[in-house]
Structure 1
Amino acid sequence: MTDRIPLKRALISVSDKTGLIDFARALSARGVELLSTGGTAKTLREAGLTVRDVADVTGFPEMMDGRVKTLHPAVHGGLLALRDSEEHMAAATSHGIGMIDLLVVNLYPFEETVAKGASYEDCIENIDIGGPAMIRAASKNHAFVTVVVDVQDYAAVLAELDANDDTTRYAFRQRQAQIAYARTAAYDAAVSNWMAGAIGEDMPRRRAFAGTLAQGLRYGENPHQAAGFYKDGSDRPGVATARQWQGKELSYNNINDTDAAFELVAEFDPAAGPAVAIIKHANPCGVARGASAIEAYRRAYDCDRTSAFGGIVALNTALDADTARAITEIFTEVVIAPEASDEAREIFAAKKNLRLLTTGGLPDAGAAGLAFRQVAGGFLVQGRDNGRILRSDLKVVTQRQPSEAELNDLLFAWTVAKHVKSNAIVYARDLATVGIGAGQMSRVDSTRIGKRKSEDMAEVLGLDQALTIGSSVASDAFFPFADGVEALAAAGAKAVIQPGGSMRDAEVIAAADRLGLAMVFTGQRHFRH
């Protein structure tokens, strides 16, 4: 195997013409012969470059609306032939097959076509066949062939040629082959996942996921763990599509927590007023609605000021100057919002370590999608938890009916509980959380933790009773025993929302009646592990 391979002949066939002419000119200036197809050849000729059509090489014209043009031994033989094999080179000579040293291909824009909501037929037509076949061939033969599938690698190829007397090194070709295989894998994943959805196959026999590296991270959850942030190509507003205005690079934990915060706050329609969520370690420590963004922030902050320190703040409306000033009163890691005013950005500019992200919109909390998690030997796949409950879905199961204010708080608390780690208990009053218990092995423990936190905050605020007095409470899953409801009553709660469905529902309902609580069932669970 030869380490350095000169580039004498290149085949270029691209959908994305960005940077094409400059790159092709640079190759031609180095004496590289250019082969091309269809629109790419036309673009190069119009730029004054000498190009040979692949049809001249194969002896066959492009046909069947361009579906057949590069699937030919004259192309694949030139990509796959081992230059150090006498047998391969003799066969190439015998059949008039010229070698191809550089393949430059980017694929039909299938992902973009799907994202535009194109018809099934249009999506099928944008599945590339010849491109992936050539890419795989060139990548397999990277001992002799350089392959380029991304526009951003044009400069790297030219730099490699400049540094190595118009040759490419084996290590460089290896790297390019890995990039190419990852591209075809991602492409095939996009096609297979789209088709599964198109035909209603929720859980296909094989499932593949792919992403493009957006950011190399210093480390993962802990310093000894390598990590990176990959984007899946969707345009769903969130941390992956956000613009970062200032601050240090986001860490692994920042990204995870910021996503949790923004997904939660997106549950609240901005048309109904501002909402703010403060997140710590992927759990909310305060969520509230308000007449203004600053009121919502203050009320969310007053749920658990201790945990809010060093947290993530998410807004469902634009960040204004007053709210920005309030947020800077304590140390905050990240703020994410659909927009931010010029004055708000100026206020944050004084806090150089504070990251500010804007997304241009909110994700649709009710949209379908997939969530997956790795386990030993495989991964779990499920639909996103996009479940929502309306008033009409609620079933009152106790003698006491909840008041209008309690119903509002119950639905608010239920929405927040969806984003709290199980076992989740959320106390709310006047559309603000006043106590949250998360991630406990026992639902009763979560109930008690939420109460204790409310007592701590009452002391901070100079109040003489726990914030949970008079509150409404959401439980993400049913109460298996009456003791959970008894603990809520002891915390001062007056109304409860829960899925129902326990074998002991009758005992739980009887306890609620005995304690004077109103209770409603949703028939829907929100486990979040």
Structure 2
Amino acid sequence: MTTRWALLSVWDKTGLVEFARGLVELGWKLLSTGGTARVLEEAGLPVTHVQEVTGFPEILDGRVKTLHPRIHAGILARRTPEHLKQLEELGIGTIDLVAVNLYPFRETVARPGVTTEEAIDTIDIGGPAMVRAAAKNHEYVTVIVNPSRYSQVLAQLRERGEVDLFTRRMLAAEAFAHTAAYDAAIALYWQREIYGREHLPSFFFLVGEKIQDLRYGENPHQRAAFYRLPGMGSGTLAGSLKLQGKELSYNNLMDLDAAWNLVREFHDPAVAIIKHTNPCGVALGETPAIAYCKALQADPVSAFGGIVGCNRPVDKEMAQEMVKIFLEAVIAPFFTPEALEVLKAKPQVRLVAAGEGQGEGLSWQVRPVSGGFLVQEPDVYDFAEQELKVVTQRKPTEEELKDLLFAWKVVKHVKSNAIVVAKDGVTLGVGAGQMNRVGAARIALEQAKEKARGAILASDAFFPFADTVEEAAKAGITAIIQPGGSIRDEESIACANKYGLAMVFTGVRHFRH
């Protein structure tokens, strides 16, 4: 029987000894390098060191050890008479299985204060070369880059004596994805090092690891999956933990992300209730429970079946309020044990703990278009209060100013054309996604009804005409915040002065498409 060789050279040694022992029990010979060989030897397994095959020692602090014809020829040779004859003439044996995973480059550069030298040291060269060679020759060679595959491969070897072609192809595809993601991480790192985070590169890389398949996308006929970007952990939706409830759907995840991004705008306890990625109620409060009750009362009809986001841990008091109505999901940094006990009464409600990390996420936002995609910076611009420009005869009062700044943060998260009416740190009306601005204002004001009297209004973009100011004044609005910049700004200012409204310009627009 022909001797079969397995080359094992891994950074992540999870399951390594068990896998290697299984191969030895099946009659395989082990070929290994450096630290991997030491681990196997310490486990009492027979190992041949690579340098015994190459006749050449590991050199340059281990930078060169497997880059040798006796290794790569053994991996790349087709099992044809011509190739096997060449190997025999040169005294080279075949390598039938390659289990390799790479130096932790992404983990290294994610550490605060990592040096360029440290980053360079974790750029793997020999590993990707072996992985790509084995994947290319998958017709004859099994390649494994993920330790979770060890048991699957062993099971087939025990049952059939070989790994079937379909599995080898699947493993090869996984291997090429592994090296592609690795190289993309290196390229992204160097682009940032050279140009900074603000540079839009000539080639844009976006690599994600699948977290889970979703039942479907926005609609049942659309396939969907959820992916996590490298390095994304605590404080992000992709790094969150579902504690309870039904499986998260595509639409749940979209709404949870909208809720989480909105409440993190605020330093005070804040709650947002989201429907179809738009807020139907947002409020600040002394406690999470108070903020939730205020947000609910802002629009109790739309809140039914909504997604709740809170920037503070959910406590027992807030949980007791939430179980009173039907909610789809709740996202917060975490949930207290007492809150979880209360929420057991609603076992279908999805509870998502996002953690308390900063969770900055991507430096860029990516949106697909036909044949390509668009890339932009996230809309994270925040201005100092002194940057506001009062353009009317009357200045906003201190209380009005607080509400103007509150509503300005909320309106950024409403689909354009967007209008938000608010008072005392609570939204009273939201006009979202309308084709004209005055239409959005009418929706928000109609929702607020008599509560609009003495409230303020925020607009995500300038008023092209004075009609929105007119509508606001008639409804009893006392102050307005908007970007300014229209060629008809003077008309809007004159209208505000006519009704005694205060109006401030931010100089910043918050379109959200």
Q: TM-score scaled by structure 2? A: 0.96
Relative to structure 1, the CA distance from residue 48 to residue 488 in structure 2 (aligned partners, 3 Å threshold; closer, same or farther) is same
Matches within 5 A, 1:18-167: 18-83=14-79, 85-117=80-112, 118-164=114-160, 166-167=161-162
Q: Which moved more, 1:401-410 or 1:355-364?
A: 355-364
- Name which of 415, 419, 429 aligns with 2:413: 419
> How far off is 1:236 after superposition?
4.6
- Name which of 428, 453, 474 aligns with 2:422: 428
AA paired with 1:267? E
Q: Distance in 2 between matches of 1:158 and 1:381?
A: 44
Query: Could you tell me which residue of structure 1 aligns to residue 265 of structure 2?
Result: 267
Query: Could you tell me which residue of structure 2 aligns to residue 468 of structure 1?
Result: 452
Partners of 2:236 and 2:359 within 8 A in 1: no
Relative to structure 1, the CA distance from residue 86 to residue 433 in structure 2 (aligned partners, 3 Å threshold; closer, same or farther) is same
Partners of 2:411 and 2:419 within 8 A in 1: yes
Residues 1:512 and 2:512 aligned together: no
Q: Which moved more, 1:170-179 or 1:59-68?
A: 59-68
Residues 1:498 and 2:488 aligned together: no
- Name which of 228, 231, 236 aligns with 2:228: 231
Query: Could you tell me which residue of structure 1 aligns to residue 373 of structure 2?
Result: 379
Relative to structure 1, the CA distance from residue 236 to residue 483 in structure 2 (aligned partners, 3 Å threshold; closer, same or farther) is farther
Residues 1:442 and 2:436 aligned together: yes
Q: Distance in 1 between matches of 2:61 and 2:504?
A: 61
> How far off is 1:7 after superposition?
8.4
Q: Counterpart of 1:514 in 2: which secondary structure?
A: helix
> How far off is 1:239 after superposition?
2.1
Q: Counterpart of 1:168 in 2: which secondary structure?
A: coil
The count of residues paired between Structure 1 and Structure 2 equals 509
Query: Could you tell me which residue of structure 2 aligns to residue 203 of structure 1?
Result: 200
Relative to structure 1, the CA distance from residue 326 to residue 387 in structure 2 (aligned partners, 3 Å threshold; closer, same or farther) is same
Query: Could you tell me which residue of structure 2 aligns to residue 240 of structure 1?
Result: 238
AA paired with 1:508? S
Partners of 2:234 and 2:355 within 8 A in 1: no
Query: Could you tell me which residue of structure 2 aligns to residue 186 of structure 1?
Result: 181
Q: Distance in 2 between matches of 1:492 and 1:378?
A: 47
Q: Distance in 1 between matches of 2:277 and 2:284?
A: 20
> How far off is 1:268 after superposition?
1.0
Residues 1:403 and 2:397 aligned together: yes
Q: Counterpart of 2:155 in 1: which secondary structure?
A: helix
Q: Distance in 1 between matches of 2:401 and 2:260?
A: 25
> How far off is 1:100 after superposition?
1.0
Query: Could you tell me which residue of structure 1 aligns to residue 338 of structure 2?
Result: 343
Partners of 1:211 and 1:231 within 8 A in 2: yes
Residues 1:219 and 2:213 aligned together: no
Partners of 1:214 and 1:229 within 8 A in 2: yes
Q: Distance in 2 between matches of 1:333 and 1:36?
A: 52
Partners of 1:246 and 1:354 within 8 A in 2: yes
Relative to structure 1, the CA distance from residue 358 to residue 97 in structure 2 (aligned partners, 3 Å threshold; closer, same or farther) is same
> How far off is 1:364 after superposition?
5.5
Partners of 2:454 and 2:477 within 8 A in 1: yes
Q: Counterpart of 1:388 in 2: which secondary structure?
A: coil
> How far off is 1:150 after superposition?
0.9
Query: Could you tell me which residue of structure 2 aligns to residue 370 of structure 1?
Result: 364
Partners of 1:262 and 1:314 within 8 A in 2: yes
Query: Could you tell me which residue of structure 2 aligns to residue 462 of structure 1?
Result: none
Partners of 1:476 and 1:498 within 8 A in 2: yes
> How far off is 1:168 after superposition?
0.5
Q: Distance in 1 between matches of 2:494 and 2:88?
A: 90
> How far off is 1:290 after superposition?
0.6
> How far off is 1:6 after superposition?
9.3
AA paired with 2:221? H
Q: Distance in 2 between matches of 1:399 and 1:124?
A: 61
Partners of 1:283 and 1:421 within 8 A in 2: yes
Q: Counterpart of 1:245 in 2: which secondary structure?
A: strand
Q: Distance in 2 between matches of 1:203 and 1:521?
A: 30
> How far off is 1:385 after superposition?
1.4
Q: Which moved more, 1:374-383 or 1:494-503?
A: 494-503
Query: Could you tell me which residue of structure 1 aligns to residue 384 of structure 2?
Result: 390
Partners of 1:468 and 1:493 within 8 A in 2: yes
Q: Distance in 2 between matches of 1:214 and 1:108?
A: 22
Q: Distance in 2 between matches of 1:362 and 1:302?
A: 30
> How far off is 1:33 after superposition?
0.8
Q: Distance in 1 between matches of 2:484 and 2:156?
A: 65
Query: Could you tell me which residue of structure 2 aligns to residue 526 of structure 1?
Result: 510
Q: Which moved more, 1:108-117 or 1:501-510?
A: 501-510
Q: TM-score scaled by structure 1? A: 0.93
Gaps of 5+ in 2: none
Partners of 1:275 and 1:316 within 8 A in 2: yes
**Deviations 1:112-133 (CA, angstroms, capped at 9, x unpaired):** 1111121222112211111111
Q: Distance in 1 between matches of 2:510 and 2:156?
A: 53
Q: Distance in 1 between matches of 2:359 and 2:123?
A: 28
Moved over 3 A (4+): 362-365
Relative to structure 1, the CA distance from residue 388 to residue 381 in structure 2 (aligned partners, 3 Å threshold; closer, same or farther) is same
Q: Distance in 2 between matches of 1:528 and 1:362?
A: 26
AA paired with 2:251? N
Q: Counterpart of 2:238 in 1: which secondary structure?
A: coil
**Deviations 1:477-496 (CA, angstroms, capped at 9, x unpaired):** 11122122222223321111
Q: Distance in 1 between matches of 2:239 and 2:96?
A: 37
AA paired with 2:453? I
Query: Could you tell me which residue of structure 2 aligns to residue 251 of structure 1?
Result: 249
> How far off is 1:506 after superposition?
2.0
Q: Distance in 1 between matches of 2:150 and 2:189?
A: 30
